[in-house]
Amino acid sequence: MDNEKLLRNISSLGFSLFETDKRIDVNETIYQTLKSGNLRFLEGFPVILANAIKHPGFDVNALLNICKSEDEKRTLMQFIILSISLYKYFHLKFWWADKMYKKMSDENKEIVNHFLQYLKKDDNFKIMEYTINSAHIKDVFKNYFQYEESNTEKTKSNYEQLSLEFALSHIFSPKQKALFFKKLNGEKMTKTEREYYYRRVKKKIAALANSEVHSLSKKILGY
């Protein structure tokens, strides 16, 4: 895949966060991004991953199978770990990122913490043969949310989704938040999910919908 085509595909998974082009091969695009060795592309990996998760064709196992060597698989995992570290730095508790983190080995969880410390201190660090500039990769991530003029509807929508994600993460566990969106989107639940939803999640939603609670909360916060 040439760089021009790769850039177009990456744009579908990066420059419009939370919007994905279903026509592209998402797993192949991510693999080619890693294979390119282009640091500019790699610095956008956390944004690309955030978009890829929303794509129906994305599959981590399929992506690992595309990798031609153990080094490529390690590079992929390191950039996934970096992405999760960056989400933690910005306090973005995506349910799928939390799920990935929970499935990680203790060793990889320790690497997440190491990367997080580098990000907090603005220290450079290595991922395989690449030197990651902490300050720069944080700026790249923020700039994707600020892409285009800040007063456009598109940017406003991105911030609203981020704000919603952040607020819900303080109220619901990742599992509860996933069920919240399933119910909201009218998606089918399993018997176990339905029972858990009515036993735990619906009660929280009812409390949030209570007008008196809402009014008192705004008063306390000075809104």
- What's the domain range around 27? 3-145
- 71 and 117 co-located in one domain: yes
For residue 11, pLDDT over 60 is answered with no
| 87-128 confidence digits (pLDDT tens) | 999 888 777 888 888 889 999 999 999 999 999 999 999 998
Assess if residue 13 is contained within a domain.
yes
Domain count, the chain: 2
Top pLDDT among 125 and 164 is at: 125
Assess if residue 189 is contained within a domain.
yes
Assess if residue 120 is contained within a domain.
yes
What's the token pair of residue 208?
Answer: 């949030």
Find out whether 192 and 182 touch, Cβ atoms under 8 Å. Answer: no
- The pTM of the full predicted model, rounded to 2 decimals, is 0.59
Axis crossing angle, helix 70-89 with helix 45-52, rounded to the nearest 10: 90
What's the rounded Cα separation, in Å, for the pair 169 and 176? 9
Assess if residue 156 is contained within a domain.
no
Assess if residue 167 is contained within a domain.
no
Assess if residue 166 is contained within a domain.
no
Find out whether 128 and 71 touch, Cβ atoms under 8 Å. Answer: yes
- 134 and 188 co-located in one domain: no
What's the rounded Cα separation, in Å, for the pair 83 and 44? 9
Top pLDDT among 78 and 214 is at: 78
What's the rounded Cα separation, in Å, for the pair 139 and 150? 16
- 199 and 133 co-located in one domain: no
- 22 and 93 co-located in one domain: yes
- 202 and 101 co-located in one domain: no
